[in-house]
Chains A and B, each alone.
Chain A
Amino acid sequence: MRKRLVFVLATISMVASLLAIEPAAAHNERHSQFPDGSGSVPVHRASDQASEVLVVCKDTSPDAIANQTDDDAKGLGEAMLDVASVQDAGGPHGCYEHIQQAVDAVSEPGTNIYVLPGEYREQPSWDENAECTASYNGGEVSYDLIVSCGEVINLVTIAGDSPDDPGIACGDDPSEVLCNLQIEGTGDTPADTKVVGGFRDDGDWVKHNGIKADRADGFYLKNVAAEIFRENAIYVHETDGYVLEGVEAHHNDLYGILTFTSDHGLIKDCDTSFNGDSGIYPGSSADVNADGGPQIDPITRWSVEITGCRTHHNALGYSGTAGNSVYFHDNEVDNNGAGYVTDSFVGGHPGMPQDSARLENNDIHHNNSNYYEEFVHSGICAADRPGDRGHGEGTVCPAFPVPVGTGILIAGGNNNLIRDNHIYDNWRNGVMLFWVPGAIRGDMEPLQQLDTSNGNRIVDNHFGFDSDGAPAHNGLDMWWDDQGVNNCWQGNDTSYAIGEVTPYEGWITHNSLSPVLPSCESGGSISPVGNAVKSATLLPCAVYDREDNPDPLGCDWFDSPQDPRDRAVTVPNVPGVGNVGVTVSAASFGTPRPLTEVDLGQRAVPSAASDGLPAMALIIPPLLLVAAAMSAVGVRRRLG
């Protein structure tokens, strides 16, 4: 009887086991448009060339001027103090006390406003204006609202175009007096004339933006620093013709310098750091070279030239969604999470997909700062009150996911030229290039799904060498998803080749499935379809959200990459295409974690291929018990 019982039990358990093992089964806050492109880059004006001169200062400005060491700047400040005494604007020393007051006092186009050394908090812009507050719901900001109530989001607003005329150009109406406005700090350095947002008593940000020039054609800002804003320190929007010279922008939660749907820009000699998105963002810049302009030498037309800048210690040094026709040269991009990032990733940006940026002669190095780990995963960025997070003391809360340790990232860009740059000491990848289908940016047309990552040229760059020729490896020189048409590589060199026989001239370390990166002479790549395995490593990272999903499952972008000096790297040592191996580090390719049932919520029962293990876990215990019972009975009988 007992024998039969045990047998039945064992049979039931085994059948149950078999049955249970299932078969594997921008930020842009209003609709924006490009200017008509008829403008030009403004030229700096001396005070005697201005139609009008206004002076802004603080009580402390004369003492600050007295302590200046730059004779030219000091002389300018002293001269402006004299102008202020005549101006008699009602503030200290006859100055306007606040920059916005001076802007509001401008009566003619072509005015120069001089801002003497001091810290400008612009308190009148803080005040709650009941009429403005009532007309703003915290969301979309119309241009009309900017004109009437710019202070709802800006500390200083320069709105050039009259809302009464149909166009967006500044100067087509006599009332538009803020065209060609020049604002200039007179300190020895930009930091001497500082526009500060900061935090209110309740710990909230004072303002979204610091200085915003909106439809303000001909705007010129020089020698001023701006910092600690919820969004952007310096913002130029729908403007044709602007210069930002010698400006600094630090410690903002999004961008240091943001330009959007603007043309004829020049950003030079700037310094940006500790911004939660990027230091410099020329988003949706005018698409003036959509026909292939930047591939033509010499370059004659661009939407914005960025040169002489250092952008460092930001989440991203540079970013540009639809950063079209950007001429980015002779800059230093260092110590960011990622260096130069341009993309076609986010919808609502005019000028998509991104195209025709030109990067030349930049130093892009050591972009390995892991702010995700340091400030997001640690919970610092989750503090309820922004004022408690340490913005201003170096806290950076990345708003956008990027692979930490990457020098240049082109996520869905076309016809970009990357030439003669020093790209080194970026521990994950020197350059990343991959496809972003149109649907991701909201373009659902079938023909637009393969319209990115084509025609990019990466030539004559120095991977793993600084500008003095000293070697400092990137983790991998080139990460490419093997997708696109007419992408090409030629004339590059790499620190990995030092003392080695390289497989071919221009060889760099890469992860392509092709042994040889296609050369430009050959016409470049010919693969319109992406590599699914490689794109599989990217998608999990796209769901990053610093509040709700700061460490997405399956994404390794936020893991600090290993210093390449600590890794063994194999250089193919037999010349010839047939023997060219791909030299790759594991860290650069990524080791995505597989999706598991954890992804699907605690209440879901895992299905399909993942069922096997949990089902076995249910079955094994009773099997063991049956086996134990059988064994015990057998032992007893042997003893009896």
Chain B
Amino acid sequence: MTAVLDHPTTSAAVAGDRAYAPSPPPPPRRRLARFLAVAAIVATAGTLGVTAGSWGVRWNGDVPMAATGAPRLTELADLGERGTYVLEYLDGAPVTLTIPLRNDGLLPTTVTSVRLTDEVRPLIEVGPSAQLPLTLGPGEEIELQITARLDNCEWYHERAIQRYPSALITSRTLGRSVTKAVPLRHELIVHAPMIVGCPDGKLDRTHYNRSDIDR
């Protein structure tokens, strides 16, 4: 293919035609090539835009997390393929979770929000973080502290377990906002309490369906 593109005769002939005669309509093959070239530019630009955020947000959360507050956090490295953190459910209790993060990307990025799940009425209800927004340069690390509250047990069966495999980090890079699920070193789980540990819990079990709750 390189040999054909560099063919000098073909290039000269085309240039000479243009000097002495009105340009004829491009032949169908040339129109196709132009169309494809433009399409490629557009697609590439789009791809760059979409992936730009990803360049800067290669988080690394593979370090131990910690919790402060009344609810205790137990690390069980041998439970489950990735190990498990179990957070104690104490209704209404605040807890601060520390999630170390490192920006492994090539660009600086600004963390704007952190969640643990998109589920409605999660057992770990994450609140706003005083550290956010926060800009991290390439290679920078931070211990991100998120404040949360053990809550919503009235929506769960006493045997229910909720899993939090990742932190959902939303950040802005090159003007583009991206949310990434950053796997925690171990999966975080919390077990819903019995009704005696859930002041708003009801025996009739009619409040368990969260699927029709507005977010």
Binding site for B on A (CB under 8 A): 2-3, 5-6, 9, 12-13, 16, 19-20, 22-23, 25-31, 137-141, 153, 205, 208, 230-231, 253, 345-349, 382, 399-400, 437, 439-442, 444, 446, 449, 529-533, 535-536, 539-540, 542-543, 545-548, 595, 597, 599-608, 611, 615, 618-619, 621-622, 625-626, 628-640
Complex CA distance for A628 and B29, rounded to whole angstroms: 12
Among B30, B43, B82, residue most surrounded by chain A Cβ atoms (within 10 Å): B43
Q: Are B76 and A439 in contact (CB under 8 A)?
A: yes
Residues in B whose Cβ lies below 8 Å from that of A29: 195-196, 203
Q: Are B29 and A346 in contact (CB under 8 A)?
A: no
Whole-angstrom distance between the Cβ of A297 and the nearest chain B Cβ: 35
Q: Are B194 and A26 in contact (CB under 8 A)?
A: yes
Residues in A whose Cβ lies below 8 Å from that of B187: 539
A-contact bits for B51-86, CB 8 A (1 contact / 0 none): 101110011100000000000111010111111101
Residues in B whose Cβ lies below 8 Å from that of A628: 36
Whole-angstrom distance between the Cβ of A198 and the nearest chain B Cβ: 16
Given known contacts A23-B58, A25-B60, A139-B201, is B37 in contact with A629 (CB within 8 Å)? yes
Q: Is B142 an interface residue (CB 8 A)?
A: no
Residues in A whose Cβ lies below 8 Å from that of B203: 29, 138-139, 141, 153, 208, 230-231
Q: Are A543 and B197 in contact (CB under 8 A)?
A: no
Whole-angstrom distance between the Cβ of B75 and the nearest chain A Cβ: 9
Q: B1-32: which have CB < 8 Å to A? A: 1, 4-7, 10, 13-14, 27, 29-30, 32
Binding site for A on B (CB under 8 A): 1, 4-7, 10, 13-14, 27, 29-30, 32-33, 36-37, 39-41, 43-44, 46-48, 50-51, 53-55, 58-60, 72-74, 76, 78-84, 86, 88-89, 104, 106, 117-119, 156-163, 165-166, 168, 178-183, 187, 189, 191, 193-205, 208-211
Residues in B whose Cβ lies below 8 Å from that of A606: 180-181
Complex CA distance for A608 and B183, rounded to whole angstroms: 8
Closest to A597 in B: B181
Minimum-distance CB pairs A-B, first 7: A601-B118, A348-B194, A536-B81, A622-B43, A629-B36, A439-B86, A439-B74
A-B contact pairs, 16 of them (CB 8 A): A27-B195, A346-B159, A347-B191, A439-B86, A532-B79, A532-B81, A536-B80, A597-B181, A600-B166, A605-B180, A608-B182, A626-B40, A632-B29, A634-B4, A638-B4, A640-B13
Q: Are A399 and B201 in contact (CB under 8 A)?
A: no
Sample of 11 further A-B pairs with CB below 8 A, known A619-B47, A632-B33: A12-B44, A13-B40, A28-B195, A137-B202, A231-B203, A348-B196, A607-B181, A615-B54, A626-B44, A632-B29, A637-B5
Complex CA distance for A634 and B36, rounded to whole angstroms: 13
Q: Are A629 and B47 in contact (CB under 8 A)?
A: no
Complex CA distance for A19 and B196, rounded to whole angstroms: 53
Closest to B88 in A: A444
Q: Are A449 and B76 in contact (CB under 8 A)?
A: yes
Residues in A whose Cβ lies below 8 Å from that of B193: 347-348, 442
Complex CA distance for A16 and B51, rounded to whole angstroms: 8
Q: Are A28 and B43 in contact (CB under 8 A)?
A: no
Q: Are A399 and B159 in contact (CB under 8 A)?
A: yes
Closest to A6 in B: B37
Residues in A whose Cβ lies below 8 Å from that of B27: 636
Complex CA distance for A133 and B4, rounded to whole angstroms: 91
Among A205, A382, A530, A545, residue most surrounded by chain B Cβ atoms (within 10 Å): A545
Closest to B163 in A: A543
Given known contacts A139-B203, A535-B80, is B160 in contact with A545 (CB within 8 Å)? yes
- CB within 8 A of A16: which of B47, B78, B117, B156? B47
Residues in B whose Cβ lies below 8 Å from that of A611: 54
Q: Are A630 and B1 in contact (CB under 8 A)?
A: yes
Q: Are B181 and A640 in contact (CB under 8 A)?
A: no
Q: Are A633 and B157 in contact (CB under 8 A)?
A: no
Q: Are A19 and B202 in contact (CB under 8 A)?
A: no
Whole-angstrom distance between the Cβ of A19 and the nearest chain B Cβ: 6
Complex CA distance for A561 and B76, rounded to whole angstroms: 30
Residues in A whose Cβ lies below 8 Å from that of B119: 601
Complex CA distance for A30 and B86, rounded to whole angstroms: 25
Complex CA distance for A349 and B180, rounded to whole angstroms: 39
Q: Are A633 and B43 in contact (CB under 8 A)?
A: no
Residues in A whose Cβ lies below 8 Å from that of B181: 597, 600-601, 604-608
Complex CA distance for A211 and B111, rounded to whole angstroms: 57
- CB within 8 A of A532: which of B80, B162, B163, B202? B80
Q: Are A605 and B80 in contact (CB under 8 A)?
A: no
- CB within 8 A of A615: which of B51, B79, B195, B210? B51
Whole-angstrom distance between the Cβ of B32 and the nearest chain A Cβ: 5
Whole-angstrom distance between the Cβ of A187 and the nearest chain B Cβ: 31
Complex CA distance for A633 and B37, rounded to whole angstroms: 10
Q: Are B72 and A603 in contact (CB under 8 A)?
A: no
Whole-angstrom distance between the Cβ of B151 and the nearest chain A Cβ: 16
Residues in B whose Cβ lies below 8 Å from that of A595: 165
Q: Are A629 and B33 in contact (CB under 8 A)?
A: yes
Whole-angstrom distance between the Cβ of B28 and the nearest chain A Cβ: 9
Complex CA distance for A140 and B84, rounded to whole angstroms: 31
Residues in A whose Cβ lies below 8 Å from that of B89: 442
- CB within 8 A of B195: which of A140, A529, A530? A140
Whole-angstrom distance between the Cβ of A597 and the nearest chain B Cβ: 7
Complex CA distance for A495 and B108, rounded to whole angstroms: 65
Complex CA distance for A545 and B191, rounded to whole angstroms: 12
Q: Are A25 and B58 in contact (CB under 8 A)?
A: yes
- CB within 8 A of A9: which of B40, B53, B191, B205? B40
Residues in B whose Cβ lies below 8 Å from that of A31: 196
Complex CA distance for A536 and B51, rounded to whole angstroms: 33
Whole-angstrom distance between the Cβ of A481 and the nearest chain B Cβ: 10
- CB within 8 A of A604: which of B60, B168, B194? B168
Q: Are B54 and A20 in contact (CB under 8 A)?
A: yes
Complex CA distance for A22 and B40, rounded to whole angstroms: 22
Residues in B whose Cβ lies below 8 Å from that of A141: 203
Whole-angstrom distance between the Cβ of B2 and the nearest chain A Cβ: 9
Residues in A whose Cβ lies below 8 Å from that of B4: 634, 637-638
Closest to A640 in B: B10
Q: Are B78 and A532 in contact (CB under 8 A)?
A: yes
Q: Are B14 and A640 in contact (CB under 8 A)?
A: yes
Residues in A whose Cβ lies below 8 Å from that of B14: 640
Complex CA distance for A577 and B204, rounded to whole angstroms: 55
Whole-angstrom distance between the Cβ of A11 and the nearest chain B Cβ: 10
Residues in A whose Cβ lies below 8 Å from that of B30: 636
Q: Are B200 and A20 in contact (CB under 8 A)?
A: no
